[in-house]
Chain A
């Protein structure tokens, strides 16, 4: 856990810079149909179709705002999640593992709940959120615990 899979602590800062703007971007894409004109792609002579081809290499036209946003958001969240803490030790490694288990469990329970409650486009939106929710839950819990512990122990050093 100390070296395997973990990135240098500086990776977290890059991660925050990547993921906060792309989280806002993806929110705008999902709920307000936002897209950048310069990411519009169309093969010569191709008409805009609702049901286009399935693959990148056969696609006729597409706006790549959501793809770029998803990749930036996931890359940012991975950098935050897998950055070693400056004071990483065995107990932080344990909090990391517990948070990962917690995030997967809560995320799965939420999906089951949403599968029962939501249908049609709303369910697709939930699935779009689901691309990032496991990592978001993990980052929130892991950094939340570390933040509160650090605050507590600063006032309790004896």
Chain B
């Protein structure tokens, strides 16, 4: 699964730590998601979409291998 959290974060001008705090996870988790090393749960994906105020499909995209 691909994501553009890094871009969305840049738009809001918030750090990984700030995003982590807003969605209630550790900073390492945000780091791992941004680097495609961890696929978040539906709950976490929806919380992130809420922070960026966008539908979840605009932030996360399926890849052909998924």
Contact = CB atoms under 8 A, between A and B. Distances in A.
Interface in A120-138: none
Contact of B26 (A91, A94, A158): A91
B38 to A, nearest CB: 5
Contacts of B36: none
B31 A90 contact: no
Contacts, number: 39
Secondary structure call for the B interface: helix
Nearest to A90: B41
Taking each of B26, B31, B38, B44, which has the highest tally of chain A beta carbons within 10 Å of its own beta carbon?
Answer: B26
Interface residues of A, number: 13
Interface residues of B, number: 16
Contacts of B26: 87, 89, 91-92
A156 B31 contact: yes
Given A90-B44, A91-B38, A158-B16, A153 B25 contact: no
A91 B27 contact: no
Contacts of B6: 158
A150 interface: yes
Contacts of A150: 28
A89 B25 contact: yes
Contacts of A94: 38
Interface of B: 6, 15-17, 24-29, 31-32, 38, 40-41, 44
Lowest 4 A-B CB distances belong to which pairs? A87-B26, A89-B25, A91-B29, A153-B31
